[in-house]
Amino acid sequence: MLDVRRVRTEPDALKAGLARKGVAGEEVDQLAELDRRRRELSEQRDDLRARVKTLSKEVGGLRRAGEVEQAEALMAESRDLGAREKAVSADADVVAGELRELLLRIPNVPAAEAPDGAGEADNVVVRVEGFDPDAYGEHQRVPHWDVGAALGILDLGRGAKISGSMFPLYRGAGARLVRALTSWALDRHADAFEEIRPPSLVRTDAMVAAGQLPKFADDAYHLERDDLWAIPTAEVPLTSLASGEILAEADLPVRLTAATPCFRREAGAAGRDTRGLLRVHEFDKVEILAYATPEQAPAVHADLLARAESLLAELGLAYRVLDICTGDLGQSHARQFDLEVYAPGCDLWLEVSSVSWFTDYQARRADIRYRRAGDGGVEHVHTLNGSALAWPRIWAALVETGRRPDGTVVLPEVLAPWLGDTTVG
């Protein structure tokens, strides 16, 4: 969430920044009023508590001096003040709750470098790598759901029979490909990232900390009986790994990676973008995430992006890098780059990674701080993460790109050690 102190110290700058995400200035004014009212009530409550404490001491002194009548009068005054203090305290709690709810709804301020724009159409293509539209043969222009069905490696019908539509079922070499991609990617990050296997179900606080709640409640799977949420991404448990903790600056940046299933109530448009693996409710993904100081964050963000890109380059897939505009940035995001691969069978660019910098927005929600080495001051870390990578669309692009005229599929050589030293299926 935002630092509410900015409402007091730089309201105009805050309004200008949030306006780039389409947030009306009235919401900032509402935030300022709630903050003013909360501080006013807190001051009244503290004054009343101090007066009650003083009166209690005076009553004790009067009783010891035998001044019973005066002591009783002060006791009556103390009771009245105590009742007022409880009422003011209750009002303060209500206003504090309203302030927190508004803070949870207001998005992060976009970075100055993020391009302005109203929505997806305004995202900036930074560069395109390895793409030649004339280099693909007719045998590669077959969609992955047809290739997978013909080879018996993707069984969407039985997946739907078991769990409903948009729950894919991989078979044989198709299942091995997902496993191989996961192991390969985790090994690629092992040089600098600690591997974590977090729980796939988390408490509400973890979803709130990552910015998934309250905004995206309708997109998540909630187990009401236990009040647990199926994670939409490993970002959620990894972000909360250090919640409530104060880290040492010398230990930053902290780099973590995890392979987990991800669960999302993806809506999508009927037809085109819900075919095959284009949009699914459950998928496997390898996540990379970091806690950093504000000074370290730009370099960490660049490293996360470079790692995700290097995986696409090793797989030999055509891809492009998008700088996400302010109107398309997520709730928690200050800066974001997306990676999209080209799938020749679908003739679509498919998003396979978002590499994001959240400044201290998530860390305030999760209360993750660090102690500066120089002056010992404490402040919130910056959080950053990226998909490296999400597998359904990678699977689709590999199967379509690698399809040969005889209908078999050749996979990238880098995966051979995890595929039994064979890349042909």
Spell out the domains of the chain, with CATH numbers in brackets.
Answer: 5-105 (1.10.287.40), 120-418 (3.30.930.10)
Q: Does 264 qualify as catalytic in the annotation?
A: yes
Q: Does 42 qualify as catalytic in the annotation?
A: no
* CA distance readout (Å), 275 to 145, 166, 260: 8, 8, 23
Give the Cα separation of 205 and 240 in Å (integer). Answer: 9
Q: Does 393 qualify as catalytic in the annotation?
A: yes
Residue from 353, 354, 356, 387 carrying the catalytic annotation? 354
* Contact in structure between 368 and 379 (CB atoms under 8 Å): no
Q: Does 176 qualify as catalytic in the annotation?
A: no
Q: Which residues pair with 369 in a beta bridge?
A: 246, 380
Residue from 264, 307, 364, 365 carrying the catalytic annotation? 264
Q: Is 221 exposed, middle or buried (0-12, 13-18, 19+ CB in 10 A)?
A: middle
pLDDT tens sequence for the chain (425 residues): 999 999 999 999 999 999 999 999 999 999 999 999 999 999 999 999 999 889 888 878 887 888 878 888 888 888 899 999 999 999 999 999 999 999 999 999 999 999 999 999 999 999 999 999 999 999 999 999 999 999 999 999 999 999 999 999 999 999 999 999 999 999 999 999 999 999 999 999 999 999 999 999 999 999 999 999 999 999 999 999 999 999 999 999 999 999 999 999 976 544 457 799 999 999 999 999 999 999 999 999 999 999 999 999 999 999 999 999 999 999 999 999 999 999 999 999 999 999 999 999 999 999 999 999 989 999 999 999 999 999 999 999 999 999 999 999 999 999 999 998 776 66
Q: Does 56 qualify as catalytic in the annotation?
A: no
Q: What pLDDT does residue 62 have?
A: 82
- The helix (H) or strand (E) run that includes residue 123 is none
* CA distance readout (Å), 306 to 52, 314, 353, 385: 61, 12, 12, 12
DSSP 8-state symbol, 166? T
User: Taking the model in full, what pTM does it have?
Assistant: 0.92
* Contact in structure between 341 and 312 (CB atoms under 8 Å): yes
Residue from 45, 176, 255, 279 carrying the catalytic annotation? 279
Residue from 176, 188, 364, 393 carrying the catalytic annotation? 393
